[in-house]
Structure 1
Amino acid sequence: MTSKDGEDPGAAARWFGVRCVYHDAVRNAYEERVTVWHADSFEAAIALAEAEAGEYGEGADYLGLAQAYLLVEPPRHGTEVFSLIRRSDLDPHAYVTSFFDTGHEITGEVG
């Protein structure tokens, strides 16, 4: 028996968030994308994400870096789909400036 989305409800598949990193030479930019996959292992989730990464049509080249995160529960509103913990001796402001708010991000305004 399968569910309406084609998944076998008795299968051991779980949900994974997978982050892949890309380079766009035209814009001289890097992109980190997190996608969600229903798979039975980290390896299977990464394989699915990497297959999709090769087809990603935004003009960016996949750099071969994929990191997976096992979701504790199936995705729903507000579910954490990826987390990466990094050790650093930087103070909070320096950390954010070094890794997330360098001034080179391509972003929009909110509010």
Structure 2
Amino acid sequence: MTDDGLGWYGVRCVFRWTNHANQPYEERITLWRAASAAQAVELAGREARDYARDNGVEHLRFAQAYALSEDRITQGTEVFSLLRDSDLKPEPYLDTHFDTGKEH
């Protein structure tokens, strides 16, 4: 948090491209200066509604915020991180959540 009370937040929002074959899902991570994670989600939600309208996609109203630990954004700054518990081994985990073969 800086002297002005604002910090950087990465917010992930999820969309569905209903106007495309197979109706793919999209995850977007955007950066926001805000006083709290809740405010960052609010700002990202407004932008997500505009993005959905402008691109003819469905905004799924799902958002996750991540407070950046650095006040100055530089090359290599981590903008989002998510920990997920799973009993899956590494290869099945990646195949289930990330490498499904259906990514664009």
Q: Give TM-score scaled by structure 2 length.
A: 0.90
Match of 1:105 in 2: 103
- Using the alignment, how far apart are the partners of 1:47 and 1:76 within structure 2? 25
Structure with the greater relative contact order (CA < 8 A, sep ≥ 6): 1 or 2?
2
Say which SS state the counterpart of residue 17 (structure 1) adopts: strand
1:32 to 27, 31, 34: 27
Deviation at 1:11, TM superposition (A): 1.4
Deviation at 1:51, TM superposition (A): 0.3
Match of 1:23 in 2: 16
Structure 2 stretches lacking a partner, 5+ long: none
Structure 1 stretches lacking a partner, 5+ long: 1-8, 107-111
- Using the alignment, how far apart are the partners of 1:82 and 1:52 within structure 2? 18
Match of 1:64 in 2: 61
Q: Deviations over 1:23-56 (max 9, x none)?
A: 1112211000000000000111000000000110
- Using the alignment, how far apart are the partners of 2:24 and 2:55 within structure 1? 12
- Using the alignment, how far apart are the partners of 1:99 and 1:10 within structure 2? 39
Number of residue pairs aligned between Structure 1 and Structure 2:
98
Segments ≥4 residues shifted beyond 4 Å: none
- Using the alignment, how far apart are the partners of 1:36 and 1:58 within structure 2? 20
* % identical equivalent positions: 47
Deviation at 1:76, TM superposition (A): 1.3
Match of 1:79 in 2: 77
Higher Cα Rg: structure 1 or 2?
1
Deviation at 1:78, TM superposition (A): 0.6
Higher helix share: 2
For 1:43-54, what aligned pairs fall within 5 Å after superposition? 43-54=38-49
Say which SS state the counterpart of residue 47 (structure 2) adopts: helix
1:42 to 24, 29, 37: 37
